[in-house]
A and B are shown apart, each in its own frame.
Chain A
Amino acid sequence: MLLAVKNLTVCYDTAMLLNDVSLNVATGELVGVVGPNGAGKTTLLRTIAGLVRWERECKRGTKAGNITIDGEIHFDGQRIDKLPPDEIARRGLVLCPERRRPFRELSVLDNLRAGAYLVKDHRVFQQSLESVYTMFPILKARAGQVSGTLSGGEQQMLAIARALMTQPKLLCIDEPSTGLSPKIRAELFAKIREIAKSGLTVLLVEQDVSLAFSLSTRNYILSHSKVMAEGTSDELMKDEKVRQSYLGLAGPASA
């Protein structure tokens, strides 16, 4: 297993955001995590990336810092749940965050450089820059532009490209499709498929179930802080209870 999350429980003060969540991602897989708003998907990725623990450290001594994290997270054979986020990044786990969050006042190129912060070898940097430019030509055209002025779709491409610049072993993407037109969504998902085909392992959080299922090898359904179901897209689509309760699809599977 490249990533193994074991019995993860996260509480913010009295609110339980994750309740005994276990999840596995094997090398080469594209695993989807779907579920309704407020299910805890973002919290899951933030905990894996070390940000929840970091947040607790930052806010220790205040009410907002009253966060408890239980369970274990293993990545690439090592336990990472006690590590700071920069150390987790160094091991090769990267998060492409919800709402894209480019470094707004930095140029597109500087954002990509920031992604490659841990890449010391200039040749490797040049190569990965070439490859993200090939994948997203628009970023090359906009290289000097301040990233805050990019369109939503361009910002999402930048966020993915920036994550790829870290040379990750596991790419965690949080809701890339939010706020994009169907056409741009389809384009973007084609790119994510391409990334996964190239051999990179991907953990994809997505609200758009049919989009996620069209790419994924396996999925988890997260709802009310819990894993409710797990399986391949076909299995989940055939499961009547899953269709009705979690996917918002009524009636028997047509496919």
Chain B
Amino acid sequence: MLGNLLVSTLMSASVYAMLAVGFSLTFGVARIINLAHTAFYMVASYIIFTATMKMGLPLYVGVVAAVSLVVLLAMVTYKVLVDPMREHETTVLILTIGVALVLQELMFLWFGGYFRSVPTAVEGFTTLLGVRVSYQYVLTICVLIVTLALVWLLLMKTRLGLAIRATAQDREIANVMGMSDSRTATITVGIAAALAAIAGAIVAPLFIIEPRIWLSPLTVVLAISVLGGLGSLKGSILGAVIIALSENLVVFLVPQGAFFKGAFSLLIMIVVLLIRPEGLYGVAFEEER
């Protein structure tokens, strides 16, 4: 029981962290709230589905295709639609939710509303903490955690990471130091999309794929951002763990809990907004004029 709780919390926490970190980076550097973020995750699942089930390609080819196509899609959407509107915050919100809905409808059009699934990469089970866990599950968690660690290394140890962190603090001064903020923002949008795509691609074999699977992760990502503090990486990861843990606790402890685990993250969001609107690690941008 405890083992079950831990394993499934670890799983949701790492998926949520992947999504929330990208969402948060995009907010910090490009200064936009991208409500289409989890739609990229959904699109990635469909690309995996097409590659493996329709075209019969191996899973890893599907993953590579999903990540590259989604990154391209995200960067083009950002440059063409969002960037010109960046100063109009409300417009960006409407625009990005519009993009998400368009992508959803396209998937309905092309694939129908059926529940799809894709094959697992590995077969078999192992026992972890007294729980029977499939190798696919273990593999997925490992890939997610390794990816998060790589992102952390990218941010902390590379020149690009330095530009991303500096731009997230103060766009003007980053520019003065020779870091083009528009270039950094576009790259960051790409990285965020890659994280969403990897999450979507890697968990696809474990979950059902259908055109609306972006909606509940979006709620969760918003809840995490409110809880952790929008724009904070530490906050995103901690928020992901807290939300994942509480969702799983609800599922395990409350009868029929699975039905309101989504409502639970919304509840957390509302409570945080009421008592600590800036979240755990609120980020204040250096004031620009």
Contacts and interface: CB of A to CB of B under 8 A. Distances in A.
The CB with the most chain B CB atoms within 10 A, among A50, A51, A90, A103, is that of A103
B159 A117 contact: yes
Interface stretch (B37-45, B135-143, B167-175, B208-216): B167-175
Contacts of A105: 165, 169, 283
Contacts of B174: 103, 114
Interface stretch (A53-61, A178-186, A197-205, A216-224): A53-61
A89 B178 contact: yes
Contacts of B286: 101, 104
Contact of B177 (A55, A59, A65, A89): A89
Contacts of B177: 89, 94, 114-115, 117-118, 162, 166
B162 A117 contact: yes
Given A61-B88, A103-B169, A103-B170, A54 B175 contact: yes
B126 interface: no
A117 B174 CA distance: 9
B163 interface: yes
Contacts of A106: 165-166, 169
Interface in B144-184: 159, 162-163, 165-166, 169-170, 172-181
Contacts of A115: 177
A94 B84 CA distance: 28
Interface in B69-105: 84, 86-88
B178 A103 contact: no
B165 A110 contact: yes
A32 interface: no
Contacts of A104: 169-170, 286
Contacts of B178: 86, 89-90, 117-118, 166
A34 interface: no
Nearest to A120: B159
A84 interface: yes
Contacts, number: 83
Contacts of A153: none
B162 to A, nearest CB: 6
Interface string A47-82: 001110011001111101100000000000000000
Nearest to A54: B175
A35 interface: no
A128 B271 CA distance: 50
B152 to A, nearest CB: 15
A97 B173 contact: yes
Nearest to A85: B175
B175 A114 contact: no
Contact of B170 (A55, A58, A61, A101): A101
Interface string A82-114: 001110011000110100010111100010011
Contacts of A89: 175-178
Nearest to B85: A61
Nearest to A104: B169
Nearest to A96: B176
A100 to B, nearest CB: 10
A204 to B, nearest CB: 17
Contact of A101 (B87, B159, B173, B180): B173
A114 B161 CA distance: 10
Interface string B176-199: 111111000000000000000000
A89 B175 CA distance: 8
B169 A54 contact: no
B281 to A, nearest CB: 10
B176 A114 contact: no
A55 B86 CA distance: 12
A114 B87 contact: no
Given A110-B165, A118-B177, 13 more contacts: A55-B288, A58-B86, A58-B87, A60-B87, A84-B180, A86-B180, A89-B177, A97-B176, A101-B286, A104-B169, A106-B169, A114-B177, A117-B159
14 contacts: A51-B172, A54-B175, A59-B87, A85-B172, A86-B178, A89-B177, A94-B177, A101-B170, A103-B166, A103-B173, A104-B170, A114-B163, A114-B166, A117-B162
